[in-house]
Every structure is written in C-alpha cells, then in structure tokens.
Amino acid sequence: MGIENGLSAGFSPDSYDAIIVGAGYAGAVCARRLVESCGFKVCVLERRDHIAGNAYDYVDEAGILVHKYGPHIYHTVNERVNEFLSRFTEWTDYQHKVLANIHGTLMPVPFNHRSLKLAFGDQKGEKLYQKLVATFGENKKVPIMELREKNDPELVEVADYVFENVFLYYTMKQWGQTPDQIDPSITGRVPVFVGDDDRYFPGAPFQGMPAEGYTALFEHMLDHDCIDVFLGVDARDLLKVSETSVAVCGRPYGGEIIYTGPLDELFGLDLGALPYRTLDMEFETLDMDQFQPVGTVNYTTSEDFTRITEFKNMTGQVVPGKTTIMREYSKAYTPGSGETPYYAILEDQNLELYRRYRERVAGLVNFHCVGRLAEYRYYDMDGVVASALDLSDEIIAQHS
Ligand code: FAD
Ligand code: UDP
C-alpha cells in the first residue's frame, strides 16, 4: 500500500505480523528485515507527517536540500551496517570537516597538528605536537579528559588550551554543564587528534552523504509490498502496554511490536520524565554562493548557538547565489511541550529511571525497544542501524 496519511478506514492490527512504532532508522530497518526474512506483513506508525525520523531532509523554498532536525553526516566502521544501507542508496564521497571559531580564528576540530600551530604559532605548535607524538604516538585519538590527567607541563598547556577554548563554553551551551560534569564518553566523541587528518571522523572507512538525500534512502527502504506506513498516527492512541500484556485498538495483540519512541511516554511518565536536551534550529537563506568554508563551524568561545551548518557544503548541491545555513540552540527539554527529545542525558539517576521503565516491559516477549529514544542512548545513525539489525536477527531466529 505504501505511505498513507492517517490510518486507513479498515485498519486491522491483526492483519499485520508486526506493528512498528516510528519510521526512523530503528523502525525502518526492522520493517525491511522482517518482511524480507520472515515473510511478515508489517505496519509502521509514525506520528510526524514524514518518514526518516531525525534524519529527514527536504528541499526548502530556495531549492536547497536541508536537514530539518540538525546536520546528519553518515560515517561508520561497521561493514554490515554499511552493506545494509548501501542497498538503498548510493553515497557521495563527502568527508565532513569542522572548524572551531576560537576568538575569531578558525581551527580544525578535532584539534590536530594544524590547530596547534594556529593556536601556538608554528614553532611552539610544532614542539607541542612532537610532545604529543612522543607521548601518544602518531594518528592517535586522545580524549580531552584523558589529556587533562597528564602532569607534563607542555601537555598541561595543550590540555588547558583545548579544554578552555574548544570544550568548556560549547559544552556549557550544549548540556548546561561543564565537561567535567558530563559523561566522559560525550567529549570523547571529539578527541584531540595527534596527526594531520582534519576530518571530523578520522579513521571511519565509510563516510559520505546519501546521493539523493536521507529521505530518499528511507523511501527505498520502506518501499515493499508488505510494508504499510501510516503517517500522523500517534501509537499511544492505539497501544496499551502493561507489565503482562500488549493491546492494540483495545484487543490483545499477539504479533511483534517494535517500539522506537521514548519509553517514559508509553507509561504517561508515571515514574517521572526521562531528561533530554532539545534544540531550536534557526534556518536562514542568504543571497550568496557560500557563507563559510566547511560544512559546520562550531562556536566554541562566543555566541549563544553551538554551531552553524551550511548544507550546500555537505551535499555538494550547486545553487548559484543562494545558500541556507542553520544555527542550533540547545536547551532543556520539556515533556508535553511539543519539543523534540534529541539528546538523552547520560547520568546515573536518569539511567536508573530508564532501567525501571525498561523492567516493566521485560516480561513481554513480543514487545521490543530499539533506537536512540527507546534505548535512551547517544547513538549515531550507524549505532541505531546496528542495534536494529541485531534485534531483527533475534526476531527472525524465533520465527524460522
Ligand atoms: P528517530 O530518528 O528519533 O526516529 C524515531 C521516530 O519515532 C520519530 O520519527 C518519531 O516521530 C517516532 N515516534 C516516537 N514516538 C512515537 C509514537 N508514540 N507514535 C508514532 N511515532 C512515534 N548521527 C550520525 O550518524 N551522524 C550525524 O551527523 C548525526 N547528527 C545528528 C544531529 C543531531 C542534532 C541529532 C539530534 C542527531 C544526530 N545524529 C547523527 C543521530 C541520529 O539522528 C540518530 O542516531 C537516528 O536518527 C536515530 O534513529 P531512531 O530511529 O532511533 O530515532
Ligand atoms: N564538543 C565541544 N566542542 C566542540 C565539539 C564538541 O565541546 O567543538 C563536545 C560537546 O560536549 C558535544 C560533544 O563534544 O556535545 C560531542 O560533540 P559532537 O559533535 O559529537 O555532538 P553531536 O554532533 O552529536 O551534537
């Protein structure tokens, strides 16, 4: 049937072997695999008016392909993920580069050999670089929190500079907390790079952008006779989950349910709300060919927004005389406000709250949680796809 707005008149849950909540990566990957490997008929319920979850892209009024929910750059070391997604798209060979605006000077991030020279001057920068090479080796990634533990005065100087000028203010804007207060894995995503590679994801063997965009990738993934997608449908209106049973449209449901939304919402937040950060995205179209030299510039010492992305620089699209940029403003997420929960806040008490929600569905053999929201994880796209491939493997094994 394809993609429809709203539920079809004769919608019957029992005509589906699986009901999937959410048409982002987690939901779409599971849908495709279950129809192909189990011969299932599945429906995907999506409350937004489009597929592709937070990876959704569209052409704006200026004719420029933009990412509605923030800049998305595909990168992975996972061959299986890459093979699976590559069935549904060609890739461009875009290699993402980010510059930090540090008091008006643009320096590569992850902070690397060239950044050191820009920050400290050629001679001193080289000397400090040689110290990093002697300590960690060449082409090594060193998380800032690890670098800060070193006692050597030259390494302390580098660590202090990078901490103050790359991480402190940006992290305060993004998380409302200092780098010492947040989980070290978060700043560890953007380590100091002891080398010359100035890509944001050095060492990722597969990176690029889907040649026709992310939404097209999802259109291809969901294009199957046995997948029905219903947009504008909030699954909470149909689904009733308790610790012992799952009902859909008021009747017990025996098929598989794959849930990719926030777990607390499913229970009316009755144990308390899972905390998230959300973003305000500010789009602007400018009458110029190019605004900035790279895809993204991080504002690490100034401004209220965290970063500016210029989409044409990432997609390679040619639109003379016009370019669309986007600024991201981070803030605490308020449940029920219509905001999007973008980033789980990885703190012990939040993970404990998540665990309590998760325990509630642990006894339901046909109810599965997968994805960045439903697993309350800081997943990149490839991490979600890997998790969805694993879950679908398990379900396929049970049905074969
Ligand atoms: P989502 O994409 O959030 O999809 C879940 C879907 O479920 C949503 O469409 C939602 O509307 C729907 N849903 C939820 N509840 C219900 C309900 N009750 N009923 C019906 N539908 C429901 N990753 C990268 O690899 N590279 C990047 O450059 C990158 N950049 C990012 C930038 C930002 C600002 C953000 C926030 C994330 C970025 N990511 C990036 C991560 C990437 O967006 C996620 O890993 C991925 O999109 C998550 O997929 P998902 O299916 O788990 O969740
Ligand atoms: N970060 C920073 N300065 C930067 C880049 C990243 O302080 O210039 C920190 C910040 O805490 C951020 C985290 O590193 O939230 C992870 O950055 P990444 O670019 O991976 O975040 P995402 O793209 O997921 O928003």
Q: What total of structural domains would you count in the chain? A: 3
Whether residues 243 and 354 share a domain: the answer is: yes
Whether residues 81 and 178 share a domain: the answer is: no
117: number of CA atoms within 13 Å, CB side? 9
Ligand 2 touching residue 165 (CB < 6 A): no
Gap between the Cα atoms of 199 and 216, Å rounded? 26
Whether residues 229 and 260 share a domain: the answer is: yes
Question: Which of ligand 1's atoms lies nearest the C-alpha of 234?
Answer: 19
CATH number of domain containing 361? 3.40.50.720
Gap between the Cα atoms of 311 and 58, Å rounded? 11
Q: Which helix (H) or strand (E) holds 169?
A: helix 169-175
Gap between the Cα atoms of 216 and 56, Å rounded? 9
Q: Is residue 349 part of a domain?
A: yes
Ligand 2 touching residue 174 (CB < 6 A): yes
Gap between the Cα atoms of 46 and 48, Å rounded? 6
Question: Do residues 371 and 27 make contact, with C-beta atoms less than 8 angstroms apart?
Answer: yes
From 145, 148, 166, select the one nearest 157 (Cα to Cα).
148
Whether residues 355 and 313 share a domain: the answer is: no
187, 278, 379, best to mutate for ligand 2 pocket (most atoms within 8 Å of CB): 187
Q: Which residue in the block uniquely carries the two structure tokens 């997604």?
A: 85
Residue 313 token pair: 């620089």
Q: How many other C-beta atoms can be found within 10 angstroms of the C-beta atom of residue 53?
A: 24
* Amino acid (1-letter code) at residue 149: E
Measured in angstroms, how far is the CA atom of residue 190 from the centroid of ligand 2? 6
Cα torsion 213, 44, 86, 99 to 10°: value is 50
Residue 232 token pair: 């504008």
Whether residues 282 and 357 share a domain: the answer is: no
Whether residues 26 and 131 share a domain: the answer is: no
Whether residues 146 and 38 share a domain: the answer is: no
Gap between the Cα atoms of 84 and 221, Å rounded? 10
Q: Is residue 337 part of a domain?
A: no
347: number of CA atoms within 13 Å, CB side? 12
Q: What is the DSSP letter of 210?
A: B
Ligand 2 touching residue 309 (CB < 6 A): no
Strand partners, 229: 3, 44
Q: Which helix (H) or strand (E) holds 393?
A: helix 381-398
376 torsion bin: left (phi>0), alpha (psi -120 to 50), beta (else): left
pLDDT in tens, the chain (400 residues): 689 999 988 899 999 999 999 999 999 999 999 999 999 999 999 999 999 999 999 999 999 999 999 999 999 999 999 999 999 999 999 999 999 999 999 999 999 999 999 999 999 999 999 999 999 999 999 999 999 999 999 999 999 999 999 999 999 999 999 999 999 999 999 999 999 999 999 989 999 999 999 999 999 999 999 999 999 999 999 999 999 999 999 999 999 999 999 999 999 999 999 999 999 999 999 999 999 999 999 999 999 999 999 999 999 999 999 999 999 999 999 999 999 999 999 999 999 999 999 999 999 999 999 999 999 999 999 999 999 999 999 999 999 8
Q: Is residue 65 part of a domain?
A: yes
Gap between the Cα atoms of 193 and 142, Å rounded? 6
Whether residues 115 and 162 share a domain: the answer is: yes
Measured in angstroms, how far is the CA atom of residue 30 from the centroid of ligand 1? 15
Ligand 2 touching residue 186 (CB < 6 A): yes
Domain containing 78: what range?
57-97+199-212+276-332
Whether residues 244 and 378 share a domain: the answer is: yes
Whether residues 355 and 314 share a domain: the answer is: no
Q: Is residue 63 part of a domain?
A: yes
Measured in angstroms, how far is the CA atom of residue 330 from the centroid of ligand 2? 12
Q: What is the DSSP letter of 163?
A: I
Residue 79 token pair: 């061959």
